[in-house]
Amino acid sequence: MNLPRDHKREQKGLNVSIPIPVVNPTKSMTLTYVVSLSIIALLSILVHFMLDKIIHQQKDSATIVNISGQQRMLSQRVSLFTMEYLAASHLESKEEAQKALIKLNNNHDLLTTQYLISDEIRDLYFSPPHNIDAQVIEFTRLINQALDIDLETVEGKLPDVSLQFFEMAKAPLLESLDYLVHKYEDESIKKVNKLRLAQQIVSFIILLTILLEALFIFRPMVNKVKTFSDNLQREANYDHLTGLLNRRSFSILIDQALALSKRHQYELGVLSFDIDHFKSINDTYGHDVGDKVIQHVSNILKSNTRASDCAARFGGEEFVILLPQTKQEDCLFLANKIREIIENTPLTLNGLIIEVTASAGVSGYKKDDSNADAILKRADEGMYQAKNAGRNQVFYG
């Protein structure tokens, strides 16, 4: 884009600031990553153990319900075989009744010693109205009493006491054992549901932890990496003191601009500036003040260049500006304008006023230029002519 004939230029800076010092975030990122993964791993292990406990609880529950369910069947089996023995004097029936009674009592001992899983279950066994333990003891006594009857000595009619077990097996004991089975089932379901609820809560915590880590750990880590990368890129491309492009990045940009100028026949200009008597400034005021002078001049360059222009510090007190699509007369105009601003804007530092001037050289793209070095060389030649002519001047190289 060419400048208007009245030489008014768009004054838009490069928006370049002095880069933040590059701090390698590897150590903190690694520690954060390890801690976050450890938390997730610990919670996952906890979920695993809880699921394992749920499985074992379900197995135990199945065992308990099965054993308690056997008690109902065994009480009826004992009663049935005892009745057969009393009715027909079958010794095999007596043996079956005795086996079933032993099994019933073994199950009862197991349930009352190992599987009293709640106070409510304990009350069913040892407290009214069910008092299952007392019923089993009484049922066992009545069965043994009936089985011990010598049927050969009984003349036709059995004693009334011999059939009391049958009445007991029909109603109070069977009802109590049936109620016990349902209670075991309810208690087991409650325990499994509690474990499942706890497992679901921990699983939710894991998901929440992953979400929070994504938001507050991994996302900041990504930002740290991006900041680190941006800072490295800035360190590689920009001059630390001034925030201007450095020589390396400027060389890449001017090669790209030259390629476009050759392809599309665009005009291209380069300005070369050198602060006058800079060694004397350093010797008189010190290097710290010399750095302030360099920053002062670089700020003037930035504030008087367009977004499409590229200002760079080539080293020491030397600066260059790349002006894409800019005519020769506009390049000369800008060089003189910047020179005058530098001359008319002394640096004020702690009450000290330091007069600063600069010499400039101007060059432009020629069709026979094979590379950017030719353009830069002519700009330098113009700048040296300005120095030799008395400084604080602009020459076209």
Q: Which residue is associated with the tokens 């804007």?
A: 345
Express each pLDDT in 96-112 by its tens digit.
999 999 999 999 999 99
CA distances from 323 to 98, 207, 363 (A): 112, 55, 10
**How far is it, in rounded angstroms, from Cα 92 to Cα 104?**
18
Q: Is the pLDDT of residue 369 over 80?
A: yes
pLDDT at 188: 82
Least confident of 38-42, 160-164, 249-253, 377-381: 160-164
Q: What residues contact residue 85 under an 8 Å CB cut-off, 6+ apart?
A: 91, 93, 94, 97, 146, 147, 151
Q: Is the pLDDT of residue 359 over 90?
A: yes
Residue 274 — very low, low, confident or very high, per pLDDT cuts 50/70/90? Answer: very high
Express each pLDDT in 205-226 by its tens digit.
888 888 887 787 778 877 877 8
Tell how strand 358-364 and strand 318-324 pair up: unpaired
Express each pLDDT in 112-162 by its tens digit.
998 888 899 999 999 999 999 999 999 999 999 989 887 776 665 666 656
Looking at per-residue pLDDT, the higher value among 30 and 72 belongs to 72
Residue 27 — very low, low, confident or very high, per pLDDT cuts 50/70/90? Answer: confident
Neighbours of 348 (CB within 10 A): 10
Looking at per-residue pLDDT, the higher value among 30 and 354 belongs to 354
pLDDT at 160: 61
Express each pLDDT in 150-193 by its tens digit.
777 666 566 665 678 888 887 889 899 999 999 988 888 888 78
The pTM (predicted TM-score) of the whole model is: 0.52
Q: Is the pLDDT of residue 17 over 60?
A: no
Express each pLDDT in 380-393 by its tens digit.
999 999 999 999 99
Q: What residues contact residue 67 under an 8 Å CB cut-off, 6+ apart?
A: 107, 110, 111, 115
Mean pLDDT of the chain: 86
